Structure 1
Amino acid sequence: MLELVERPILILCAEAETGSALADALKSFGFDSIAFQRPAALLVALAETKPQAVLLDDTGLEGGLALQELVQRLSRIGNWPLVLLSSQQTIVSQIQLLRAGVSDFISKPCDPSKLADRLDALLENNEPIPYRILIVDDSVASGHWAQKVLESSGMQAKHIQDPLEIFLWLQRYKPDLVLMDVYMPHYTGDEIARIVRQHPQYDGLPIVFLSTETRLGHQLSARRMGGEDFLVKNNDIEQLISTVSIVADRYRKLRRALTRDSLTGLLSHTHFTTRLQSELFLSTQSDRPLALAMIDIDHFKNVNDTYGHLTGDAVIKSLARLLRHCAQEPDLVGRYGGEEFCVILPDMTYLRAAQRVDEWRERFAAIYQLTSEGKFSSTFSAGVASFEQGMSVRDLIEQADQGLYRAKAAGRNQVGLAKMPSQVR
């Protein structure tokens, strides 16, 4: 029996060689992929595993089980992206297949790099991360009402009564939106919003005011103090859900465009260090362990010189995808520069973090890049450091860099420690 990996990409292609080549190409970008020649074999596999996505090559699917019937059957089995690889579908047939359950169409011959990018986008949309909403309201009843309404719509919500705790929870909860009561004892919502806006990292964070105030002039005045919108308490549930989700979605998209590296989709250097600063703060507050890994692709210049910069970009993207999938959260990974990456490992002891990074190293070495001259694999070296009370972001990064230097000096393709095992308490 075929052994299925967890959450693979399943491919149906009547031509064995083409299907195998496509599976190998996707594996080079960090996707576990399995190819099948017959619809029956694919259906058996779907009974045993839940895939990330299913790719259908329409070549050879004209006979037997009709393509549209197969798509309908697959769409009834599970809710995952269903991508059709085709070069002959008309607009009418595409519409029919969309109605049957196809998520996307990709023209053949398909570029593996573009296919991997398309899959990334589809998978992100298919498994969206719930919006995180921070509710600041001195009223227990009102705050719990808003929390219950938002959670019932699939969002995550946290209610705090003391507005002076807002910065603690902005750091800890990392909300996509703040739902702020206007009238609270001692401090008003617009005053708290003005203080929040004084901090550059929260300048763009959306704040929606929530109050019993119905006078338009007062609502507009509050919005001028830094609010995105104004909602009346306990009024319209659908309006609350719609407004919060629309504003939070807009903020996420804008934040992604401003904070992400364009090639890999990882946090850029500047925004990664900001996230690291936040994680150090949380580690200090909770007295929990935290480690940092600095990762560098070995002999990357030789890859560019030998195979070209497009292949070099593919190597970078395959490592970025692997790290993003393996990390506790995608935003704990950053592209530090060129072929260098950083990963934050919260709640992980020093030596356990080194073991985890070494597992990633082995997985990356097993990924093959396909070229016109054949295939090759790359490796990486890494340095691991652990956070100690009193360390700054710069201190921790320098410690991880020392570990990386040791790994390179010892021959590369290994994990170096900032401290030797005898120094670890």
Structure 2
Amino acid sequence: MNTFANTPPLLFGTAQRAAMEVLQAQLASYGIPNQVFTRKSALLAALHEQKAAAVVLDEAGLEDAGMDEVLPLLTRLFKGTVLCVAQDLPVVRQIALLRLGVSGFLSWPIDTQRLIDRLDQLEEAGKSNPYRVLVVDDSDVITRWVSSILQDAGMVVKVIHNPLEIFLALERFRPEIILMDVYMPECGGDEAARLIRQHPQFDSIPIVFLSTETSRGRQWQARSMGGDDFLIKNQESEELLASVSITAERYRRLRHWMTRDSLTGLLNHTNLIQQLELQIAAARLNSLPLCFAMLDIDHFKQVNDVHGHAIGDRVIKSLARLLRQATPSTELIGRYGGEEFAWVLPGLSQIRAAQRVDELRVAFSQLRHFSGSSTLQATFSAGVAVLRDGMTAAQLVEQADLALYQAKHAGRNQVGMAPPR
């Protein structure tokens, strides 16, 4: 496994090639391919021939062209992020550069970790995951109308006509917004909302009532039972689409900060275990294998004691970044606590899961972390367990933890496998 395969490079445009050598080495050690160009023609040719993660331009310009000359030509070829690196730019100059196409600013000397964080934010923002909308209405006409509008906009829509089936849909579909009729024969939408709000795992999902009810008093009464908004049926499609998009995006951002570890951006401990339980249920439903891996950075206390907590944080973030690159979904990885991470591996046998973890172990051990004038390399130990009949999430975690202990006891920097029960 090449963890960094197909990663577009970061391109630099500057006349200071020698000053970039250390930064280039640091970025490469974190798995970020990068290239430096000192001439306008070479930079533009590179952008014409390949995709770039972002472009970083020196405000002082290149050897053969100033910043103001390069930017208009560059933005014709490249529609992505353009960062300007400078020192103490006046606000008037910053505004002028923004008008020319600059997306943001960096300071000399460039802080490697801050730049990496910026790239990770761009990567996350560039992921176009469609909103997931659950529509609950007993009318075929209304559900077809709503589904058509939202699906044409690229959203994923699931329809149920019986509100009594809503909890099964919530567990399996995991919507980011619920559109629900107020008046249904089996159960009123306001009653269903009230039931949903009794379950902590669903309590934050926005519920928007979709009804012919025009009485403001009745609308407020329904919202007081657990709804977040009230829309009238057969309104303009643009208004429906805008309301759903805004509400779903707000929920997505809120959920991100509620469920993620602030340092790494991975799932926090509580939500990782919730995700593991969901994956266990899905594995059993579909009769598929499931593995769980625990990873622990070796001798991490020594890293903090010798190099400081700032370097320790960089080591933690570098492993988190590798995990994101190696995993199709960030819902499968999390920071278990401290220097411990966890990885849910659905659909894999224990041997194949252990191979995946070991490939990551090798990639992590090859990273160089810079601490002043010196460098350090870190390793991790891991334990992998497979889900067996009758095993709970807690028992699966315990088995992976025992395998991790065995790997550490055997000398660290290796992957242990939990024995068959």
TM-score (norm 2): 0.92
Query: Is the 1:5–1:32 Cα contact (8 Å) retained in structure 2?
Result: no
Question: Matched residue of 1:147: which SS?
Answer: helix
SS in 2 for 1:312: helix
> Corresponding residue for 1:45?
46
Q: 1:76 to 1:289 in 2, by over 3 A?
A: farther
The whole-number CA distance in structure 1 between the counterparts of 2:374 and 2:96 is 39
Confirm whether residue 259 of structure 1 aligns to residue 263 of structure 2: no
Alignment of 1:185-334 (within 5 A): 185-334=185-334
Q: CA deviation at 1:114?
A: 2.0
Cα separation, 1, equivalents of 2:181 and 2:303: 56
Aligned equivalent of 2:14: 13
How far did 1:128 drift? 4.5
Specify every segment of 5 or more residues in structure 2 that has no aligned partner in the other structure, as ranges.
none
Alignment check: 8 A CA contact 1:4 1:49 kept = no
Alpha-carbon distance in 2 for matches of 1:75, 1:151: 32
Where 1:56 maps in the other structure, the secondary structure is strand
Summarize the Cα distance change of 1:41–1:239 in structure 2 as closer, same or farther, 3 Å threshold.
Answer: same
CA contact (8 A) 1:209 1:227 kept: yes
CA-based RMSD of the aligned residues comes to: 2.3
The SS at the match of 2:411 is: coil
Matched-pair identity in % = 49
Q: Which moved more, 1:135-144 or 1:322-331?
A: 135-144
Greater mean alpha carbon deviation, residues 124-133 or residues 344-353: 124-133
Show CA shifts across 1:254-297 (max 9, x none): 22222221211211111211121122122222222222111111
Q: Does 1:25 align with 2:22?
A: no
How many residue pairs match? The answer is: 418
Contact 1:261 1:267 in 2 (8 A): yes
Equivalent-residue separation in structure 2 for 1:74 and 1:246 (angstroms)? 33
Aligned-partner Cα distance in 1 for 2:167–2:349: 27
Distance verdict in 2 for CA 1:380–1:191, change over 3 Å: same
Cα deviation 1:77-131 (Å, max 9, x = unaligned): 3432221111154323322322222111112223222222222223323334332
1: CA distance, partners of 2:418 / 2:40? 52
Q: Is the 8 A contact 1:80 1:126 kept in 2?
A: no
CA distance in 2, matches of 1:173, 1:10: 40
**Comparing 297-306 and 237-246, the one that deviates more:** 237-246
**Unmatched tracts of structure 1, length 5 or more:** none
Partner in structure 2 of residue 376 of structure 1: 376
Q: How far is 1:30 from its partner?
A: 4.6
Which residue identity is paired with 1:263? L
Task: Give the stretch that moved more between structures: 138-147 or 313-322.
Answer: 138-147
Contact 1:30 1:319 in 2 (8 A): no
Closer, same or farther: CA 318–278 of 1 in aligned 2, 3 Å: same
SS in 1 for 2:209: strand
- Say whether the 8 Å CA contact 1:13–1:35 is kept in structure 2: yes
- The aligned amino acid for 1:136 is V
Deviation at 1:310, TM superposition (A): 0.7
Instruction: Tell me if the contact between 1:29 and 1:314 (Cα under 8 Å) persists in the aligned partners.
Output: no
Change in 2 beyond 3 A, CA 1:48/1:164: farther
Counterpart of 1:395 in structure 2 is 395
Give CA deviations for 1:281-321 in whole Å, capped at 9, x if unaligned: 22222222222111111111111111111101110011112
| Equivalent position SS for 1:209 | strand
Greater shift in the superposed pair: 215-224 or 310-319: 215-224
For 1:407 and 1:36, the matched residues in 2 are separated by: 45
1:163 and 1:23 map into 2 onto residues whose CA distance is: 57
Give secondary structure in 2 for the equivalent of 1:168: helix
How far apart are 1:4 and its partner, in Å? 9.0
Check conservation: 1:6, 1:49, Cα contact below 8 A: no
C-alpha displacement of 1:337:
0.8
Q: Which moved more, 1:80-89 or 1:398-407?
A: 80-89
Kindly indicate whether the alpha-carbon contact (under 8 Å) linking 1:11 and 1:55 is maintained by their aligned counterparts in 2.
yes
Check whether the contact 2:197–2:203 (CA below 8 A) recurs between aligned residues: yes
Structure 1 length as normaliser, TM-score?
0.91
1:144 is matched with 144
User: Does residue 155 of structure 2 align to residue 155 of structure 1?
Assistant: yes
Q: Relative to 1, partners in 2 of residues 1:229 and 1:154: Cα closer, same or farther, differing over 3 Å? A: same
The 5 Å alignment of 1:108-123 reads 108-123=108-123
Task: Note if contact 1:273-1:393 (Cα within 8 Å) is conserved in structure 2.
Answer: yes
Matched residues in 1 for 2:15 and 2:6: separation? 22
Query: Match of 2:254, SS?
Result: helix
Q: Which amino acid aligns with 2:73?
A: R
> How far did residue 60 of structure 1 move?
4.1
CA contact (8 A) 2:290 2:386 kept: yes
What secondary structure is seen at the aligned counterpart in 1 of 2:251? helix
Distance 1:365 1:34, change over 3 A: farther
Distance verdict in 2 for CA 1:349–1:184, change over 3 Å:
farther
Alpha-carbon distance change, 173 to 28 in structure 1, aligned in 2, over 3 angstroms: farther
Shifted more, 291-300 versus 7-16: the winner is: 7-16
Counterpart in the other structure of 2:134: 134
1:19/1:139 CA distance change after superposition, 3 Å: farther
Q: Partners of 1:382 and 1:127 in 2: how far apart?
A: 29
CA distance change for structure 1 residues 325 and 351 in 2, over 3 Å: closer, same or farther? same
Q: C-alpha separation between the residues in 2 aligned to 1:151 and 1:56?
A: 40
Corresponding letter in the other structure for 1:291:
C
- Matched residue SS, 1:200: coil
Aligned mates of 1:276, 1:4 — CA distance in 2:
28
1:165 aligns with 2:165: yes
- 1:353 deviates by 1.5
Secondary structure of the 1:364 match is helix
Distance 1:43 1:171 in 2: 49
Distance 2:333 2:43 in 1: 34
